[in-house]
């Protein structure tokens, strides 16, 4: 046979500061507060751990940045050196074209000009010579263009501009381009 106590248990109460509290409700409330406290402490611990990891990562990144400052300054110095050497190479290429071969070409051009034609300027630029001058006649200008092209044994000189409107000039002023067969690789 089985026995069961069907009578309600007597209610226990706890008196605090002059108040009576039901012990079951007080136990449930304290358990709820304990669980909420444990969850809050766990969350705070996780956030503290994450914050510590971020601070450690930031400190490591700052240390790596400080450690690489010598390499960065060396890289900057090397970049400046490369830029300076590139400028020297460009200047050397420009100077290389003004050597004895260019001087001989300029002398040949100057000596090939027929009488009645004057050269005002002669400049080497980009694989050829820019020539400015004047001529007494169109015929003299034509002979000068043929002679300038033949002087370098390359393609014929090309006329860039012609002007006979200047009353102070003794005839016709002109601008021509004489290709440089050495610079363009067309040497005969």
CATH code: domain of residue 117? 3.30.1360.100
Q: Give the H/E segment covering residue 107.
A: helix 100-112
Q: Under a CB-based contact definition with an 8 Å cutoff, are residues 147 and 113 in contact?
A: yes
Average pLDDT over residues 110-123: 87
pLDDT in tens, 75-113: 999 999 999 899 888 877 766 656 677 778 888 888 888
**Where residue 67 falls among pLDDT bands split at 50, 70, 90?**
confident
**Max intra-chain CA distance, the chain:** 150
**Total domain count, the chain:** 1
User: Are β-strands 117-124 and 172-179 bridged in parallel, bridged antiparallel, or unpaired?
Assistant: unpaired
* Cα(110)–Cα(133) distance, integer angstroms: 12
**Where residue 184 falls among pLDDT bands split at 50, 70, 90?**
low
Residues 6+ apart with CB under 8 A from 170: 134, 136
Q: Is residue 151 part of a domain?
A: yes
Q: In this predicted structure, which of 42-46, 68-72, 123-127 has the lowest mean pLDDT?
A: 123-127
- Max mean pLDDT range (41-50, 68-77, 171-180): 41-50
* Cα(99)–Cα(77) distance, integer angstroms: 33
Q: Is residue 78 part of a domain?
A: no
Give the per-residue pLDDT at 115. 87
Q: Is residue 86 part of a domain?
A: no
Average pLDDT over residues 145-152: 87
Host domain of residue 104: 100-184
φ, ψ for residue 146, nearest 5 deg: -65, -45
Q: Is residue 21 part of a domain?
A: no
Residue 43 confidence (pLDDT) above 90: yes
Cα-Cα end-to-end distance for the chain: 132
Q: Is residue 171 part of a domain?
A: yes
Q: Is 117 helix (H, G, I), strand (E, B) or coil?
A: strand
The residues with which 128 forms a beta bridge, in sequence order, are 179
Q: Is residue 51 part of a domain?
A: no
Q: Is residue 49 part of a domain?
A: no
Give the per-residue pLDDT at 169. 59
Average pLDDT over residues 161-179: 81
* Cα(97)–Cα(103) distance, integer angstroms: 9
pTM as predicted: 0.45
Residue 71 confidence (pLDDT) above 80: yes
Give the per-residue pLDDT at 103. 76
Task: Specify the higher pLDDT residue, 119 or 187.
Answer: 119
Give the per-residue pLDDT at 138. 86
* Cα(57)–Cα(134) distance, integer angstroms: 77
Give the per-residue pLDDT at 164. 81
Q: Is residue 169 part of a domain?
A: yes
């Amino acid at each position: 046979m089985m026995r069961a106590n069907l009578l309600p248990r007597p209610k226990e109460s706890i008196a605090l500061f002059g108040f009576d509290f039901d012990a079951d409700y007080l136990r449930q409330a304290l358990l709820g507060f304990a669980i909420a406290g444990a969850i809050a402490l766990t969350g705070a611990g996780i956030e503290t751990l994450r914050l510590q990891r971020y601070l450690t990562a930031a400190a490591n990144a700052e240390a790596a940045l400080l450690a690489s400052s010598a390499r960065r300054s060396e890289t900057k110095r090397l970049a400046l050196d490369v830029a300076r050497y590139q400028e020297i190479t460009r200047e050397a290429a420009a100077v290389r074209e003004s050597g004895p071969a260019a001087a001989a070409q300029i002398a040949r051009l100057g000596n090939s000009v027929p009488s009645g034609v004057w050269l005002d300027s002669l400049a080497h630029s980009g694989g050829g010579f820019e020539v400015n001058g004047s001529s007494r006649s169109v015929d003299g200008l034509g002979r000068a263009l043929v002679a300038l092209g033949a002087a370098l044994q390359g393609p014929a000189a090309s006329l860039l501009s012609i002007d006979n409107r200047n009353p102070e000039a003794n005839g016709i002023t002109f601008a021509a381009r004489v290709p440089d067969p050495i610079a363009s690789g067309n040497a005969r």
